[in-house]
Amino acid sequence: MNIGNIFRSAHAFGASFVFTIDAHYSLRRAKSDTARSSNHLPFYEWDAMDDLILPKGCALVGVELVDGAVDLPSFRHPSRAAYILGPEKGSLGPETLALCDHIIKIPTQFCINVATAAAIVLYDRTTSLGRFPLRPAHTGGATDAAELPPQEDWRKPSGPVRQSF
């Protein structure tokens, strides 16, 4: 069920592709993916980390609660990135972490559900690289155009926004 939820979130947040490594995933049994993401996103299955092939210039970002990982709110997402999360009852192994260009963590007190973690990372990526105005200093949101900064002051991505999960 988690993989189906991850695929659905990836599709909803505009990912370019999704992949699994040594996972047992059945598109037919993915009842949680009500968006049928596999009909909209390329899906790659690899047997082992050594088989992983990413597009040129695509950074591999590990999501794991480990010492030395960058807290997600402080992380600047690469414009081209693939995110890898460990299994629900486990973690990314040292070999996988060594292959990552970046390692990030969600600042929680303990591990959370892997599908929830994927959605949080994708949401953070979307809000930090998307074309959204900065949050207002006061509680609530900007309610009228007079409160919004000029659009040219909104955060803009530094290049084409490509993401995968």
Tell me the residue range of the domain where 157 lies. Answer: 2-133+153-164
The CATH number linked to 94 is 3.40.1280.10
How far is the C-alpha of 70 from the C-alpha of 87, rounded, in Å?
Answer: 20
Per-residue DSSP letter, 110: S
- The answer to whether position 147 is within a domain reads no
pLDDT band at 160 (very low <50, low <70, confident <90, very high): very low
Q: Please report whether residue 144 resides in a domain.
A: no
pLDDT surpasses 60 at 123: yes
Q: Structure pTM? A: 0.79
Within-domain flag for 140: no
Could you read off the pLDDT of 36-83 as tens digits, one per residue? 566 667 888 899 999 999 999 999 999 999 999 999 999 999 999 999
Within a domain: 138: no
- β-strands 80-85, 59-63 pairing: parallel
Handedness of CA 143, 144, 147, 148 (dihedral sign): positive
Residue 34 is assigned to a structural domain of this protein: yes
Total domains present in the chain = 1
